[in-house]
Amino acid sequence: MNWLIELLSPGNVSLASAVMLYSFVIFAGIWLGKIKVFGISLGVTLVLFVGILMGHFGYMVDINIMHFLRDFGLILFIFSIGMQVGPGFFSSFKEGGVRMNMLAVSGVLLNAIIAVAIFYIQGGSEGLTSLPEMVGIMSGAVTNTPGLGAAQQTVLQIHEDASVVSQDMSMGYAAAYPLGVVGIILSLILIKIFFRIDVKKEINEVEDETKDSLLAPHVLTLKVTNELIAGLDIAKLHTLISANFVISRIEKAGGNVIIPTSSDILEMGDLVLLVCSAQDEETFTRFIGPIVEKTWEMVQGPVVSRKILVTKTDYNGVKLGSLRLRIGYKLNVTRITRAGVDLLATANLRLQIGDSLTVVGKPADIQRLGERLGNSHKHLNEPNLFTMFIGIFLGIIVGCIPFFLPGMSVPMKLGLAGGPLVVAILISAYGTKVHLVTYTSSSANLLLREIGICLFLASVGIAAGKDFAATVFNVRGALWVVYGLIITLIPLLVIGTVARWRYKMNYLSIIGMLSGSYTDPPALAYANKVANNDAPAVAYSTVYPLTMFMRVIVAQLLILFFAP
């Protein structure tokens, strides 16, 4: 049994011992993270605290192995996040997303301003808390692990004793994180109480707005009663009506159902199945004719509706119109589903691997198109490692590019966190234009992300555990908890008040936006439970991409501008 005792002893730094230590820290942290207290769980963050506990009892890992696992885990985590948020990053600035994003970014800046103010009020560099420690506290207070990782990478550029400073930042993060999670949810409750919000009324408002949503394709059946368009072909109709639309099927007077091409002519009394945006409904009812009730699925005939998956790389980034489906296949595409969102099938819409096309036509024609586009679920399950590693390769290069800014003694670099994040966002948003396959199944992306964050948190916790109790469980540590709570609450209450009082935003959107501005899943889970609809999740996803990017950059800038 001596071999087992030696393997499990704290002083053993062998590779086998390191793998066992990491495995224990991760599975124990994940298991403990599922435990809820008052309906709140800390999730995967408990890996950090288990790591601290094991480090406190003397368990260590070879420093080179630890640094590699920490940095590579951070890269995997950051890159996976970038690939997830990239497709919606730039579109989040459109329409109402601009206001939400500006409010969220204002909250990020308020967090940074308050952290710097506390740093100078408590004595600056001569006080009990250094600026790097304050950045760690801020990252914990806003529950943002990537910000901590980015700041630690920046510390390596300017501090000789970077490992010590990095551990102190981890301790500040760990001290502030638990109340950070609680504080976010507390602020959501305080806003509701302060403004005397009736949640049921807010839910009803959201449901009324959803009925008129312009985002999803709107399907309606019209009867041709306008004599002015009788005798016109569909190509001519597209020139007369500027709105985007698709005529999926036409039922002629005799009951014959056809899949129309651009040359098919509309006649009086025809029933037209049309897909458009909800905002354009009135245009078509005035131009073509009234809406009639009809269940097209029950129509007898050779016409069916099927879904086809785009899985061949040859069609990644190709415009839908270039497929010439009406002429070549006598098919109509009524909508495209991408990442769970329905999109109107316009000619200029570029296809992406993983898109699901809803097509209408004869079964034989649909089968021919499916063979052309791939239509293979198995292909989508295959991991796309090429894009992942070329992205990481380019991300490291971008992260090492020096940017010389006025007032800084050393050049700014995006580092191992910022570089892969920027490249991942750009690849996932625009990779299809250079025919780069950016599709990754949600389960594969989540697996990479969770592995990355677990490796990072375990490394940070083990490294910080040795001195954690002596550093945190005293007056200084108590101050860190108070500082963190101040950084958590004040920006949330200020931004929430502005959103409600100045912009009259719906409470469900506010709590989703505030949860997203702190990139905090437990807060989103609470918001979803309150709303019982997807309004908080929509607001969360609207601000999440830009906020995540800003928190990584702001954490780095604080170190570069204010750290001695």
Q: How many CB atoms lie within 10 A of CB 493?
A: 17
Output the pLDDT for position 214. 43
- Ordered domains of the chain (ranges, CATH): 2-206+386-562 (no CATH), 218-379 (3.30.70.1450)
- How far is Cα 494 from Cα 510, in angstroms, rounded to an integer? 12
Alpha helices in 329-441 (DSSP H): 363-373, 377-380, 385-399, 415-430
Report pTM. Answer: 0.67
- Per-residue confidence (pLDDT) for residue 534, from 0 to 100: 65
Q: Report pLDDT for 489.
A: 95
Ranges of residues in the chain whose predicted pLDDT is under 50: 212-215, 298-300
pLDDT on residue 393: 93
8 A C-beta contact, residue 45 and residue 26: no
Backbone angles phi, psi at 310, to 5 degrees: -85, 110
pLDDT (tens digit, 9 = 90+) per residue, 123-181?
887 888 889 999 999 998 998 877 888 888 788 777 666 677 778 888 888 888 888 87
* DSSP-assigned beta bridge partners for residue 336: 343, 357
pLDDT in tens, 318-331: 888 887 776 666 77
